[in-house]
Structure 1
Amino acid sequence: MRRRLIQSTLAVVLVVIAVFGVSLVIVETRTISNSAQERVDSEALRLASIVDSRLLGDETVDARILHDQVAPGQYAVIGIPGRPAIEVGTKPDGDVIHSTAKGEQGETVRMEEPRSSVTREVGRTLLIIGLVALLAVVAAVLLAIRQANRLASPLTDLAETAERLGSGDPRPRHKRYGVPELDRVADVLDSSAERIARMLTAERRLAADASHQLRTPLTALSMRLEEITLTDELDTVKEEANVALTQVERLTDVVERLLTNSRDPRIGSAVSFDLDEVLQQQIAEWRPAYRSAGRAIVSSGKRHLQAVGTPGAVAQVLAALIENSLMHGGGTVALRTRVTGNQAVVEVTDEGPGVPADLGARIFERTISGRNSTGIGLAVARDLAEADGGRLELLQAKPPVFGLFLSRTPPLKKPAEAEPTVR
């Protein structure tokens, strides 16, 4: 592109120089020739008037007297009736410029000047025009190089930016070039980079959330299947199989919810449900894991509470808290239910060392973990709680107490979901 810009600019300048330069040469040549002719005519008339004045005064007219009246390089021939011709100066060789003037006494004056003087003057003029044209070409080349670099370098940068976007590096450069069109392209690329970054972040977050939310049901399902393989009692096999089927249903519900949220995160599925059922389900699922660890999981508090939310999401939140206590806590894990105002609260606590002071304020941030874990469990749990209007908080650091707050007010039906009026 640089070469094309330089070549095009140089071509335009050469065309302009050719058109105006040739015209200027023609005009200057004619001007110099006309000026030389006018000069010779003027000299002939001047010499004729001098001869007239001397003849009228009966003064001597000869070559010696008229020698000073003829400029160097010029040649004059004065013809006076009845007298021999008078020659002043040296007769030029070759082509000449001449002029003839007649005086009042009948004399004639022929003035000649070599045309080589005109040629030299024309040559000097052409040399000056050529130098100016050369300077114009050099200036045009320098300007073309500057403009080419000014336009080509930003295009190269924009191409590199587009290549980076295509290779998965969506960082905006926020670089501008002072050219409105190029700056507009840079604005669009930066906007695209920011959108791509948000999309990649959302996809990575969805993948992390999905892996974490699917892990808990899969772990519980794996434990139930292990129980089945370790027993020969038919009743126990049936019981564990039914629990495993429940886990499969929960796993299906998690997958459907993840797909729904990925299509439109604004779609909610909050309903009024019995909180005891979710609590007992979680206790039954996690009791084998706690029994294997030599620990216990119990529940207490107010019974038969109705809460508003998505049962599967609430189960996921409780599972995350119970798993967190299993991995990082100690002793007995207790699930307590109570009522505060118009909210049902589920507290999950254990007898472990609690949350470190340096992590207390950031415990719900992603990638924040006190041990070698993913660091997204509590963050996902808080997102799930807030999706249906609830909230998840750390009520106490030592011993750790997490509180899940759920509304007890049934959700209002949307106009489209309202029952039709009977007429």
Structure 2
Amino acid sequence: MRRHITLLVASTVVLVLVAFLVPLALLVKDVARTRTLAAANVRAQALAPVVAAGDRGTVEVALQQTASSGYPMTVLWPDGKFSGAPADRDAGVRLAERGRSLTVDTPGGREILVAVLGGRGGTAVIRAFVTDRQMSAGVGRAWAILAGLAAGLLAVSVLVADRLARSLVRRITKLAALAKGISTGDLDARIEPGGPLEIRDVTVGLNELAGQIDALLSREREQAADLSHRLRTPLTVLRLEAETLRDPAEAGRIGEQVDVLERTVTELINTTRRPVRAEAPCTDATAVVAERVRFWSVLADEQDRRMDMRIPSGPLLVRVRAEDLSACLDALLGNVFAHTPEGSAMGVALEARSGAVYLTVDDAGPGFPGRHLLRRGVSTASSTGLGLDIVRRTAEASHGSLQLGESPAGGARVMVRFGVPPRDAEPS
């Protein structure tokens, strides 16, 4: 933008300079020509009274005095003789001998012919010759001055335009940084209004927008946190009910599930209260997936499900928090247990390829009835329909995607592609 503004001002100034300087340059040339011819004509007219007197000796003396003027002067007498610089009796001279003063263009210059009437023997002609070089004397220097003035004006205009453009670009760059900060969740970002009125209005609007978004999100976070906090009461009741079971093993297992659910609720409260910012990536997706598979394998054994797991031996870095990755896998495995018959096999795979990390969950159930399951809040079973949408949004937040398909066993396949964070990302 800065370069475009500078070029626009430079082109405008060039057009204005051309529109003014070209006519001015032609006028300077015409004025120099007219001034030179007028000076030569004045000298020729001043010699006319002396020529009219007819004293050729006096005329010779007068011609010698005017020789320093730089204009060759000649007096052509009616008897065919001449005084002064040699000159031919051309057509212009013959026309002047008829009593008419005139100016004639000739090769290399211009003749000024003054007819002197009343002399003895006829009409004498005074001839002054002005060369082209004399008529253009000083024009080159004047043009050089005009060109230098134009170059100076153009340089000053470009410099001023560049300064103004740089000021505008600097302010717009700050606006872009503010907008980018808001888009990445930095709702505390503000800049001081300044610059032209339009840019100042945009700055004020963006500052107010950030404040309004922050207020709305704060209100939503508090409402979600309050809702999550209300779940603690039934969890406490459930824990007390579990402690009354006679079978210690069963009581312990239910108590462990209540602990997991309570940790999930706590994490939900913390997540809703956490400001919207770029989250630190998970440095070991392999460990997270392995831990969640071990957790769900207990239920799989109870339902006589074969649960396969294919994960790499080393850690994988993904562009989501470990808690979000765990929640995604829990949502996918929970769907398998909820929507497939007991005894249906399932598998979990984690692999890195093509600059991304892929998490795949397969099952041997009835499969998906349609791709509309990706719509938020839509479900074909008695559920909220939010599980796959949560997985999709988590994947897209990491610059990844969610893909539904058919597993090799004929059931459902959910493939989640997670983006890999840049090298300078902070570990979680």
Superposition TM-score, scaled by structure 1 size:
0.49
Superposition TM-score, scaled by structure 2 size:
0.48
Of structures 1 and 2, the larger Rg is shown by 1
